[in-house]
Structure formats: C-alpha cells, structure tokens
Structure 1
Amino acid sequence: MSQKVTRRQFMNYSLMGVGSFMAAGMILPMGRFAIDPLFTESSAGDMITTSVKIDDITEEPVSVDFTFEQKDGWYVSEVTDFAWVYREGNEIIALSPVCKHLGCTVSWATDSANPDRFFCPCHNGLYEKNGANVPGTPPRGPLDMFEVGESDGYLTIGAIHENELV
C-alpha cells in the first residue's frame, strides 16, 4: 500500500521548500560578497608609466600627469592625477600635490613672496622643496611621496607613502 500525504504534511513540505529557496536567495549573495575579495588580484604594487623621460627631469619641480584605473565597487573609471617631480642629485623625487592641511592642491613657485617653495592657496600654506611644511603655516605635516622607478627610459610612478626626506 502506498502512504498517503495529508494536507498538513503537504503544507509543511511546501512551506519548507519555499522557505529554503528564499533563505538560499538571501544567503548566497552575502557569502559571495564576503569571499569575493579573496579571489581578486591585488594591484597595489603596480607602477604606472608616464610620458616623461628620466633624462628630461631637472632640479626644478614640474607637474607630471599619470592615468590609472580606479575601481569603486563594480564601477571602473579612468582617473588622471599628477605629481611634482624633480631631481635631487642622482635621486628622483615625486611629491604628492595634496596639502596636508585641508587637501587643497599645492603649486610650485606661485607665491611671489616665496618663489622656491610649494604654495597652498587655501590658507597660505607653505612647503619646502623636499615637501617639509614651513613652521608657522597651516599644514600639519610634510607632503607625501610617490614611489618612482624607470621603465625603458621613462619615469614610472607607484604607490603613495609618507615623506622620507624630512
């Protein structure tokens, strides 16, 4: 004889099945979100090649543009940034243009009273050529530095880090 399923058992099985599918529909995306960073490739050590030749870099800081891909969630965009690059002896220095006071953009030799310093127009902040903040001006710390390198005679710029010159 075959066993009959009662209405109560049928409702139990149906609700349990539907509930299981609903729970799986919520838990699987959360699990994917949690483990997805483990499978992505890290690009923190990548160097970006610029259009400036190493031989063209002088002791006067110049603005060097570089472009990189930035990923925000699932949106990938191309970002253009720049660094202040100059030569100090045999060493090439690349400084961040972001003021440590409020994040404004600093410029080289634009203040007539301080022609050989970086100047922040937001609150008259001053930095020395090596990125050290001038005492008595608003910046709280020195300008950050970029890693620099060479690829086929062209300047490469890498990750940003704290200033090692001061």
Structure 2
Amino acid sequence: MSEHNSHDAQHQGERPVKRREMSRRQFLSYTLGGASAFMGAGMIVPMLRFAIDPVLQPKSQADWVKVVEEAKIENEPKSFKFQVHQVDGWYESDVELEAWISKDQQGNIFALNPTCKHLGCTVNWNANPEYKDQYFCPCHGAHYTVDGKNLAVAPAPLDQYDLKVENGFVYLGQLGPNKRVK
C-alpha cells in the first residue's frame, strides 16, 4: 500500500501535458504576413540595388590627361589647369583641376596637387614674402617646400600626381601620396 500511495503522490505533482494547436486564424495571419513580407522584399531589394550599385562598382584608374607642353616646364613651379571627365554614380561632369608642375635639380618633372593637407585650402607658390620659394596656404599659414614637404601647420606633404611625358607633352594621371619626400 505504501507503494501505491507514493505512486499517487508522484502523479499529483505533475500537470497533464497541454498541446497548443494553431487555429485557422493564426495560420492565415502567418501565411498572409509571410507572403506580404516576401512581396515587400521583392519591391525593396531592386530599389536598394539601384541606390547602392555605383558604390559597389570597382574603382578604375584615372585616365591620363594632356596638360602642357614639356618645353613650358621650368625649375620654378607653375600652375596649370586641366579638365577631367568625372562620373559620380549616374552624374557625369567635366571638372577643372589644377596642378603645380616643375622640374627638380636633376631635370625630372613632377606635379603637385595645390590642396593644403591642413584644411583643404589652395596653396600658391611664393604667395607670402616671409616664405620665399615655398608653397603657402593663406587660410592658416601652412607652408611647404618646392617638393611639397610640409614645414608648418599641415600634418602631411602635398599630394602628387602620377606623371608621364609622351611626344613632347606632359600627361597627368592618378593623384596619390607624395613620393618625393619622406
């Protein structure tokens, strides 16, 4: 008898297992919700791809742009303006850029970007009498050597264009870090 009482005591503490079944209303709600989400995603994904696709395209190297005749380049830096065809997403434009081009002591031609590395103002050659034979930024007083090395204020040297000389003309390419100074 004691076994029977202990057996009943065990069953009294347990609850019967309740099964939850899905009602028709829940089934229809889940089915319609899933179908609506699928159709909504079908409309949103092409719109997102349209917006993001230009960002995902691989960057191409800049084309070489004819800037000036080689004979016009001297040891003293001169400013030359040139146009580049630019594509931003679906917007195409022709942008005018500037480069300071000169020869070094060995006669090698190089081109520097005139954008100051401090806050993006435009530097000029020999623009300030205090800094003779230097690039000077009028915004905050940054100045650079003829090779583009930063001397004060700016955290980095002026950027340099890739350059090639062909058939008596100077061509500029991709803009990158200055390779002339360490």
- Name the Cα RMSD after superposition: 2.9
Counterpart in 2 of 1:124? 141
CA separation in 2, counterparts of 1:141 and 1:41?
Answer: 28
Q: Choose 1 or 2 for highest CA Rg.
A: 2
The structure-2 alpha-carbon separation of the partners of 1:124 and 1:43, relative to structure 1 and needing over 3 Å to count, comes to same
The DSSP-based 3-state class of the residue aligned with 1:28 is helix
Asked if 1 retains the 8 angstrom alpha-carbon contact of 2:65 and 2:172, the reply is yes
Provide the residue aligned with 1:156 in structure 2: 171
TM-score (norm 1): 0.77
Q: What TM-score does the superposition give when structure 2 sets the normalisation length? A: 0.71
* Aligned counterpart, 2:113: 96
**Mapped contact 1:49–1:151 kept (Cα < 8 A):** no
Measure how far apart 1:42 and its partner are.
4.7
Identity of aligned residues (%): 32
Q: Which has the higher contact order (CA 8 A, sep 6+)?
A: 1
Unaligned runs of 5+ in 2: 1-32
Structure with higher strand content: 1
The 1:28–1:48 alpha-carbon spacing in structure 2 relative to 1, beyond 3 Å, is same
Instruction: List structure 1 runs of 4+ shifted beyond 2 angstroms.
Output: 15-38, 40-43
Report the residue type matching 2:92 in the other structure.
V
**Alpha-carbon separation, structure 1, partners of 2:87 and 2:161:** 20
- Displacement of 1:41 in angstroms is 7.1
| Alpha-carbon spacing, 1:32–1:139, altered in 2? closer, same or farther (3 Å) | closer
Q: 1:87 to 1:76 in 2, by over 3 A?
A: same
Number of residue equivalences: 155
Deviates more, 1:82-91 or 1:68-77: 68-77
Aligned residue for 1:141? Answer: 156
Task: Please state how far the C-alpha of 1:152 moved relative to its aligned partner.
Answer: 2.8
Check 1:34–1:102 CA distance in 2 against 1; reply closer, same or farther (3 A cut). Answer: closer
Asked if 1:73 is matched to 2:99, the reply is no
Name the CA distance, whole Å, in 1 between partners of 2:49 and 2:141: 50
Per-residue CA deviation, residues 130-149 of structure 1 (Å, 9 max, x unaligned), is 11111xx2111211111001
The separation in 2 between residues aligned to 1:48 and 1:19, in whole angstroms, is: 50
Tell me what 1:61 maps to: 77
User: Equivalents in 1 of 2:36, 2:140: separation in Å?
Assistant: 63
